[in-house]
Structure 1
């Protein structure tokens, strides 16, 4: 579809926008061409790729998409949504409990729905800051017209958050972290050679225990049988940690992915013992990055074989190395376990811009960010990426 589809509407006066900038809101990602969009998406930003956003639209209903167009075509864009109103990963009052702000009020959320890694798809080059600024101004205008407290772009890697905050006049607030690791060409043996001795010994013992229990691993595309198996096992794992989203919800997400073509880039590591499947992890390839997303487990079968660690951390490094991949993305959960198995911990920030003349207290912002950095320096010493600490947030 072209940028002039009827599902899009322009923001602002046309005579101000039509040549240099044309800013639009569309009713879903399908209003934007896949090639145009993905040309702006980095390998690490898979959960803002066109097919992933389309899969979420298929499963949960369309999210709006804000885009900035230049005379050369698409220049920047992001999905828009409302966040969630229950405590959890996408509930703003949980983010900044130590500082004053209108966190209980509704905000406009920028980035992929339920994504824990958000970068703003945007062209590179000397006009990049202008396009980011235009997108931010448009988002702030939408928030103001809808009577919202402002916009928030959460789970942004710090370098891109600094860039976006600088372009938009927003405030950078640290609130989470994610795990990532390089994938050496020599696979797991080369990766483990760089680990601390204690971590290396522990990991070898876990792999040995997995094998002694008679487990084997099969790497397989996501067919309908794997979809059904994943829906059941992932829901079982999530229920163990308090989720009320059952297998039907997970099946709907996977169906949406299949319809959008996402599953063409997916693969599952499936662990079996005899004729019984004990667990699986689903991964997605995007460019040179390998993204771990879903783990499922049959807890009726004793899980004292370290299947989670083997499927999610160890086996994928060898698999990805054999495929020529370079970056392993491990999301935001179980950070200590991931750090002990070779991952580095990278900071994530929200860029917040309040509507009107409202603002956050600079002293509160500095105190919050410094406290966040200090906590991670104490808990993850030796495992932090080079983005820590943050200066002049």
Structure 2
């Protein structure tokens, strides 16, 4: 019988990442590998943590190990681990799938050190609403499932979001008027930009779908516009209505806990959709834009503001984002969005990519989370706070490196006969950017 020489953790890491490993790895079995002067040290603290990394190589395995404490990264603050993402890209690129013999040896070594269990799943994932709902057979983007998706992400607690979103309570890309503008100034400038693009004036009627905490609704109301916002987050709706009352805007502003598909009013002068399309599903774009076109008066304006990919081929956001952050979400390119708007009642008048503004926004959110870290952990737990820090820092890196983009697309509703009469010749809003 052939003898079996167990592999150490360092041996396993070297097998999976044989070259250009940017990290120093230190493991629970006393072994280490990787450059001693590495910018970041990765500590594999338990057999379970190693099992997650090996059995699901990539972002989900690393996230599982990191969330459970089986993997600790030194050299970055948990609230803002931005600096790790360049090295993670290098690590992913250096991954080498082991051949059959090496895989058998790895698995036997994991078993010998107690790292093989019956599908060990982190507590956070055991409680995942998505796993429960898939088993219960709820259709993707049914009203009930969409409501639970939004609740799973946004009903973490208003107090938690206040710690990093700032006074604006806007969970979407800001628009920085100057390089040194504050987050709140940039969010106010974003609302101004969208409001001006919508061509709203006092007395007009405005609908904001996926309105979050009602920041755009309140901005419009302060300009004398009748503004209705809808959200699938009960906590957001309650917070927004309280803020509307606090600001004395009840006669002009309203936020409802409601699916946008259940809005009964029509003939709005303008519609804003800021950060909602990511949750709709690419297969539902046609019905989405047709529904919103039907809610506008002829000549009414819509601004769609959402995250996209740089091209129109990919839709999946990635396993980590789908598992832990935005279940059921899909992204595509701006070309797909423009086509769907054009095919469903809109003349597309203007579009622009403001991805670098989203990178700045995410930077400021992470810095706020870092400044309020102890309170964030107390409110939401360390695992949730860690997840938000990781996904926001990683998203900043993604916008800076054009992995993802942020596009605003402006459409004007066609007349019933398809006429484009009355479309302005030039843009009418002020960019007001550096």
Q: Which TM-score band applies after superposition, normalised by the shorter structure?
A: under 0.3
Which protein has the bigger helix share?
A: 2
Q: TM-score, normalised by structure 2?
A: 0.26
Larger radius of gyration: 2
Higher-RCO chain (CA-CA 8 Å, sequence separation at least 6): 1
